[in-house]
Structure 1
Amino acid sequence: MATVTLTTPRSARANPGAPFLPGFVPHELRTNNAKQQTLAYAPGGETDKPLTARQKMALPKIDLSVLEHLNNPFHRYDLSSRSFTHDEKREMKDSARNTYRPSLQPAWLKHDRHVLRFYAYFQEAVHENPKESFRIRACNVYFYLEDGTMMVSEPKVENSGITQGTFVKRHRIPRPASLGGGMYGFEDLQVGRRISVYSRVFRLIGADAYTRSFYETALGHEMPENEELPMDSFSAADLPDDEELVSARRATLQEAKEYNEIAVGGCCRNEKLQQYLENDRKVLRFNTFWDDHTKYGSRKYYTMHYYLADDTIEMLENLPRNAGCAPYPIFWRRSPLRKNPYIAPAPGMLEPPPLIYKPEDLIVGETIDVLGREIVLYDCDDFTRSFYQSYMGLEQASIKIDHPALTHVKLRYPPYNGFGSEEDSLASCKGLVCKPPRRDEQKELADADKVLRFEAVLADDVEENETRRFVVAIWLGDDSVGVWEIKQRNSGHSEGKFASKSRKKNPATGKWFKPEEFYIGATVAISASPFHLKGADEKALCYMEEHSSQFAVSNVDAILFKLRGLKEPLQKQSGFVSGADLKKMAEERGVPLCEHEVLTLSRRFGRYVWIFGKAAVDAAKLAQALE
């Protein structure tokens, strides 16, 4: 008899062979079985909504036909096909991010913000005016290459009385039928041509530099030179006459008139008689000062009198007590004061017409020139104020001045005369009883037996001195320097002392020599002879390395900081690098190294044989130290 298996609705969906017990029922995987919407609305109309990402609409590729279509500025109003949504445009932008500039660029992209500028003018008729019949108005013509539009603008002139600014708004301007019709292009615009814009003729008289370069590139020919803007009657009337020419013409006519009056029996006219009768005993008084900026100068005060009767000026000097100056009461004797002082080299020579100071030139707060001195006017009396109020309608000010602080000029010590030491000569200038100069006894006791010795040669380019060798020593106790010559056979020079031990000055700085100025590769001038230091003994090198804070050329850390850019080139080297090659590598990268710095690196990261003067640096060790 067949066996019947009992199932439940839940177990039917699962594995029918598993019993309906806890732990035997497998998990059910539920899926979303909702029906999706396939109809969507876009700006172009109804469309099918893609179900998955693979079923999305294929984006069009940019080719020549699309660019020709986009070249037309009215492509945005083309409704023959559905427009793209914002998401589609964004995907197109992302897909063409690396190719946003095609090889054949449209005009709106290739000539974006490229504008041709021409200078032009047009002639405007003026009616019912007896002085002028026309007027010239200057304009600027702009041609936009991206869409072929044009704009005419007239620069604004202040208080012109004419409405100026944008003359023709930006748009494509049609060409007259007499010129062939169509629209104006950049080929129609040339310097020296006339263009007709809505029955108004403009003449192009110039162009800017970019416009000229564009025409040379696009059309292959050079534009004519800029023309001058024509002059009309209105502009010519505003040109001022030459003041010197008018003044000279008036003076000549006046002189001829006076000569004719005297020739027919007339008398000489006293021109200043009326001025004398009206202004006799009327004097303007000003308080002035002058700042003397010389070595021992100070501020000096004057009282200036201006006589209205004959336009003469007098200046009195106000000296305080114990001023130390000669008691001359008058600084400028009463006479006309010229603005253009002139000294004739010989009597009887012609002089330029004098320009005399007038009352309108004397304003409180301003300066006048008297014998090359800038005199400052800072106050005046009550009569002077009332005169200027009635004569010019000017209220003279009163400036409160601060007296400059007195400064004591310290005298300088006389120069060294060569007798004794400089310290002894200076002590004789500081007091009647000479005192010996103070010495640094602690330094002398600590460094009494320490001497830095260097091998040197003369660097004077003299053939006889090429074989000579010297020893330059500096004593650290008192910074004294000495030079001795080493014996050389058949040199013609005797050995021994070249410069005795003493403190010596560096001609380049004017100060005493210091130990840090001596190192291998340096050139020092001692007794008017330049010495090039080529080597040093082991004791000197060890002392300089122990005191690397004082001697920068022996400071390894400072040298490594300068050579931080040589890490990669040194890693490519293998074995030892000579000192000359290391110095050349540093100079190629703008890091100059002296011979002593190369020697310091070779002593730390390589080897150095002083006898042969050869230095070598381990490239691997130096590159590792630069990390």
Structure 2
Amino acid sequence: MASNPVHGLPFLPGMSFKDSTVLKFDAYFQEDVPMSTEEHYRIRQVKIYYYLEDDSMSVIEPVVENSGIPQGKLIKRQRLAKNDRGDHYHWKDLNRGIDITIYGKTFRVVDCDRFTQVFLESQGIELNPPEKMALDPYTELRKQPLRKYVTPSDFDQLKQFLTFDKQVLRFYAIWDDTDSMFGECRTYIIHYYLMDDTVEIREVHERNNGRDPFPLLMNRQRVPKVLVKNAKNFPQCVLEISDQEVLEWYTAKDFLVGKSLTILGRTFFIYDCDPFTRQYYKEKFGISDLPRIDVSKKEPAPVKQESPIPEDKDRRFVFSYFLATDMISIFEPPVRNSGIIGGKYLGRTKVIKPYSSVENPVYYSPSDFFIGAVIEVFGHRFVILDTDDYVLKYMESNAAQYSPEALLSVQNHVRKREGPAPELENKQTEVDPGVQELEVLIDTIQKQLKDPPCKDNIREAFQIYDKEASGYVDKEMFFKVCDSLNLPVDDSLIKELIRMCSHGEDKIDYYNFVRAFSN
């Protein structure tokens, strides 16, 4: 008699079983997969449990991770009908290598555990030999290792991508189109992407340049360098260029500082690059002396302004300055047979001085008008040659508004225009122009000195060093005496007086110099 492997006692008919007495079978069923191109059917492995205490059964499917199929308890514990007559499955109906149908699903029982085998054999049931568990073909296919592809080492796009990802060569270039009508010189930045040999051109915009803010001149793309001759590209302006139409593409070695290259019909001149690009060319191509080319526009040399019309040289004009409104009017006296219609040249208006800004305009004032002054009116330059007597009186009464040189220029001109004094005309003597100019200068200095020093003290100081009583002293000694007497030698009029009193390079006439300090 067989014994119970659980309790160590022989199995007896009609004995009661505890909850732990369970028969376990391994089985599977086949499920059709109609809506998949990768699998036509699926094998689902299950375990069938038979509980001896109440002849109930349950079907459990082990959970497979990431299967996407609801798994676990397929049929809960219950007594299962085996036919339409109401009969239920009994443990005598179970064996290895048989098919059982439960709720329309056919399960193939392939094996059982050791306890189930001993129990069935002790009850006189002859067990069929065990079968191999069927495997799901799709699951087994996924367990196979991925196929490995080896690409040629000379050109590996994946390796190029992984090696040069996010590495970009940056070049600074200009497009000079100044030779054409309305052409100009514009600045661009060229990016060369090492990961896929594509090129991008970005336009550099300056503030208030009046252009639409389009950042890209050319989107990132491969750029052909040499095309196939007589290639039939219709329409070429729309279709993309294929590899069959290109003999050679632009590569990194084509972008060098100091070199010109044509892209999209424009010739770009590369004048500089960034530090990473310089290091890349040094390591890749052995080029370590990439230059930095100065392409900044230099200011043209100033052009001497000359009258382009010879007839304008002898034209004469009358300037009127209105003190009440600071306006200027210009009148041109008519000249017979000159071919120029005279009359009003400019009506009353304020005239802006050249080189003044529009935001802060500076207008001409009375202090800008003196003999020899150049007045620019709306691009035309006029030279002041003469004045009337009222101008001299106004300048002398408002001497603080004018520089000493401007006042002296008008005084000298008026005196020259009036001619020699009457007593000199009677004697029929001629006055040296230099002497006359010196007298005018001395007279001007005398009028401007508010607290003149004593003339006798100055003369005595110079006579101490003039042993020969020649009226001249050494220039170095002259300035020492002036410094000891605190004479204003830095004044512009005094400087002019010293120049006129100089005799050669080393001597100065102190007689005429002292005369200027008399009251």
TM-score (norm. length: structure 2) = 0.27
The structure with the larger Rg is 2
TM-score (norm. length: structure 1) = 0.22
Higher relative contact order (CA 8 A, sep 6+): 2
